[in-house]
Amino acid sequence: MKVYNIVIVDDEELHIETLMRQLSGYDGVRVVGRAGTAKIGQKVILAQRPDLLFLDVELPGTNGLKLLNELRDQITWPMQVVFYTAYEKYLLEALRASAFDYLLKPFEPNDLRLVMTRFFEHCQKEQASGSFRNALSKLLPSDSTFMVATISGFCIVRQEQIGFFTYENDRRLWKVHLNDRSHLYLRRKTVAKDVLSYSFSFLQVSQTEIINIGYLAMIRDRQCIFYPPFDDVTNISISRKYILELQERLSLI
């Protein structure tokens, strides 16, 4: 049975102890590190390379959002982040920073149970598609991080977070579909050419749809079939206009 490592970064010892006690009731996880400051937290995270990080938003002299942003380029392994905070005002900002989930203090056992259930389900899906991705990862461009201009401001997004883009004619906006099932709207006047410039892995398949070929599992009757978490998306088809470009792209791979 695979054991997932957890690190907790929180400046309140009582909250760390409470969370550790609750986590001890779950099979398949172990707390391998803890820290009360951002400086120590950075060292623990990089040393332990946890699968799951519980990160307090309010830390002495800084906050968890800044800590995570400073570590962004150094986190080269799949790590999920749960923001752990007593302040709901940080929730939206945390989600924009690509948190896997959040937990409000004080939490009830069922609150943590929901977070952990989601984490285990996510890991199972990743394992199911992992063999193919490992084989393909050497051929596809490496994951990159870039800044996209949305209708509400600029947002830092990792390539692996994006499944596909769709253009909504009624709003005249490109919509970004993320792997946590949330979405972003790109700013007005963004055109398909702008979207394609973000990454070589983004490929236009119709006038209103652009996919991340890193999630493309197969093509059946010109319909795109995706790997989890986009395996339930069944309405993206390749138009005749773009089928040749797709064939040329896949031939390169």
Quick: pLDDT tens for 239-250.
888 887 776 666
Q: How many domains does the chain have?
A: 2
pLDDT of residue 71: 83
Q: What is the pLDDT of residues 82-98, one digit of tens each?
A: 988 776 666 655 555 55
Host domain of residue 230: 145-252
What confidence category does residue 40 fall into, taking pLDDT thresholds of 50, 70 and 90?
very high
Same domain membership, residue 115 and residue 228: no
Provide DSSP, the chain: ---EEEEEE-S-HHHHHHHHHHHTTSTTEEEEEEESSHHHHHHHHHHH--SEEEEESEETTEEHHHHHHHHGGG--S--EEEEEES-GGGHHHHHHTT-SEEEESS--HHHHHHHHHHHHHHHHHHHHHHHHHHHHHTTSPPP-EEEEEETTEEEEEEGGGEEEEEEETTTTEEEEEETTS-EEEBPTT--HHHHHTT-TTEEEEETTEEEEGGGEEEEETTEEEE-TTSTT----B--HHHHHHHHHHHHH-
Q: What is the pLDDT of residues 171-219, one digit of tens each?
A: 889 999 999 989 999 988 889 998 888 888 899 999 999 999 889 888 8
Same domain membership, residue 155 and residue 102: no
Same domain membership, residue 195 and residue 118: no
What confidence category does residue 135 fall into, taking pLDDT thresholds of 50, 70 and 90?
very low
Assess whether pLDDT exceeds 80 at residue 118: yes
Single out the residue in 104, 137, 170 at which a domain terminates. Answer: 137
CATH number of the domain that residue 234 is part of: 2.40.50.1020
pLDDT of residue 148: 74
